[in-house]
Amino acid sequence: MKKNLELEKQILAKLMIDADLLLESELSENDFVNPTHKKLFQAIKEVGSNLALIQSKFVEEEQDYILEIAAMLMTSGRKENYAELKRLTEVRRLETILKGLQMAIDDDQSLDLIYEKIAQFDKQEIQVADMKEVLVEIVAELTGTVTAIYHPTGYTKLDKYLRGFTPGQLNIIAARPSIGKTMVAMNFLLKQTEADKKIALFSLEMTNKEISQRILARNSGMPVDQMNKPATPEQLERVNTAMIKLEAQLKNLTLIDSVYTLPQITRMIKYLHKKSGLDLVYIDYLQIFDIKGDNRNLEIGKITRTLKKLAKDLQISIILLSQLNRSLETRADQDPKLSDLRDSGSIEQDADIVLMLGRDLEYYPETMKVFIRKNRNGSLGEVELVCKPASMQIGN
């Protein structure tokens, strides 16, 4: 018990120095045993790292103890300590369950009652859906009294199949290099920011400047390769006009080019969601994730499962870009199939929607085919969009 309290004090001292670690720690008041520690954790959540404001939450007799914690020399408070505190919370929960079951057994209760007790404990940790409520919600959507949430792509032909991306979904946009994954994703998200959706774009391949150049090219009609060269007066006018139109729209877009690992990306998504809300997250692209394990397929599977769970937990749409296998280019029929997804079958399994892109670079470079290869809540199909790769533009 004493060890538990010391661990709690160490973690609280760290949080008092840097309240931004609250999100990373994934702790709650229930992870602390000591009542004062619970109260201190709640105070940090409310007022941050301001010691004076934290102390104001406590009576005079408690304030010396708070100062004692704040003055602790923090050599720990690392992630493994957060995990240890979580582990101890789970141990206490299991001890409570066992104690309750032992009492039921000692009282000679029936097996049905014992199983009921087990189910009650499970409900504390698992959100159990009330089927009646779910069915009422579905009927309300069908009758139009409640509108389901969709984030359309902005492309009419495609949205006839998808209606849009919905909260809780993991969606895939896949293609071979140079076909236009980033171009398609960028056009989707810019259409969505026009509809006032809040979006984060994680670019693991390009810098924020390179992404911004492509956004400006798309909205001004200037070729991307002109963005690093001196502009003509006519080009400058087009760029300035595009900047004015983009100013309000891009307040809803956050670009991140400095994180490469799954934990970093999930922490940043949670932070942005808590700070200002998020509707959609785009990640470009899966195969550039910094993967530590030896088994790449297993690690890719871990990434897609984690992102799927995150989408469900936060009720956001995550769109993950992915490469297709090189073997696609050696086939007579080069229309991509689900089996062409690179690195792991779990991509197909975890995804709600899989869009695959195809473009004949030699004969029809300005025609983009979008193959809807998986659509959990709709039909499959194929649509053609017009594209101008030089200026990153896509049209219906």
Contact 305, 286 (CB under 8 A): no
* Confidence tier at 123 by pLDDT (50, 70, 90): very low
Q: Are residues 109 and 221 in the same domain?
A: no
- Residue 370: the pLDDT is 96
Higher pLDDT residue, 123 or 395? 395
Residue 189: which CATH number? 3.40.50.300
* Confidence tier at 75 by pLDDT (50, 70, 90): very low
Q: Are residues 2 and 115 in the same domain?
A: yes
Q: Which residues contact 82 (CB under 8 A, 6 or more apart)?
A: 11, 24, 25, 26, 27
| pLDDT > 80? residue 119 | no
- Residue 12: the pLDDT is 86
* Confidence tier at 191 by pLDDT (50, 70, 90): very high
| pLDDT > 70? residue 77 | no
Examine residue 151 and state whether it is found in any structural domain, yes or no: no
- Residue 134: the pLDDT is 54
For residue range 244-268, list pLDDT tens digits in order: 888 878 888 999 988 878 888 888 8
| Average pLDDT of the residues in 132-155 | 67
Separation of alpha carbons 256 and 279, rounded Å: 16
Examine residue 78 and state whether it is found in any structural domain, yes or no: yes
Least confident of 76-85, 148-157, 184-193, 262-271: 76-85
Examine residue 64 and state whether it is found in any structural domain, yes or no: yes
Examine residue 133 and state whether it is found in any structural domain, yes or no: no
For residue range 343-373, list pLDDT tens digits in order: 667 888 899 999 999 988 888 888 999 999 9
| Average pLDDT of the residues in 209-229 | 87
Examine residue 344 and state whether it is found in any structural domain, yes or no: yes
Examine residue 135 and state whether it is found in any structural domain, yes or no: no
Examine residue 140 and state whether it is found in any structural domain, yes or no: no
Tokens of 188: 């989707």
Q: Are residues 227 and 335 in the same domain?
A: yes
Q: Are residues 109 and 19 in the same domain?
A: yes
Q: Are residues 89 and 202 in the same domain?
A: no
* Confidence tier at 76 by pLDDT (50, 70, 90): very low
Q: Are residues 110 and 245 in the same domain?
A: no
Q: Are residues 40 and 177 in the same domain?
A: no
Give Rg (Cα) of the chain: 26
Task: State which of 109, 128, 147 marks the end of a domain.
Answer: 128
Mean pLDDT of the chain: 82
Examine residue 308 and state whether it is found in any structural domain, yes or no: yes
Higher pLDDT residue, 16 or 134? 16
Q: Which domain holds residue 9?
A: 1-128
| Average pLDDT of the residues in 69-78 | 61
Query: What are the b/e assignments for 303-314, b being 16+ CB within 10 Å?
Result: bbebbbebbeeb
Q: Are residues 97 and 193 in the same domain?
A: no
Q: Pairing mode, if any, of strands 170-175 and 353-360?
A: parallel
**Domains of the chain: total:** 2
| pLDDT > 50? residue 124 | no
Task: State which of 81, 110, 128 marks the end of a domain.
Answer: 128
For residue range 307-330, list pLDDT tens digits in order: 999 999 999 999 999 998 888 877
Helices (H), the chain: 2-17, 21-25, 35-47, 51-55, 60-70, 79-106, 111-125, 131-143, 156-162, 181-194, 208-220, 233-249, 262-276, 296-314, 346-350
In a 3-state reduction of DSSP, which class is residue 114?
A: helix
| pLDDT > 50? residue 186 | yes
Most confident option among 97-106, 112-121, 140-149, 292-301: 292-301
- Residue 148: the pLDDT is 66
Q: Are residues 178 and 308 in the same domain?
A: yes
Cα–Cα distances in angstroms (integers) from residue 47 to residues 51, 58, 59, 238, in the given order: 9, 13, 17, 46
| Average pLDDT of the residues in 295-305 | 85
- Residue 22: the pLDDT is 72
Residue 45: which CATH number? 1.10.860.10
Q: Which residues contact 50 (CB under 8 A, 6 or more apart)?
A: none
Q: Are residues 212 and 120 in the same domain?
A: no
* Confidence tier at 127 by pLDDT (50, 70, 90): very low
Task: State which of 128, 147, 173 marks the end of a domain.
Answer: 128
Q: Are residues 235 and 320 in the same domain?
A: yes
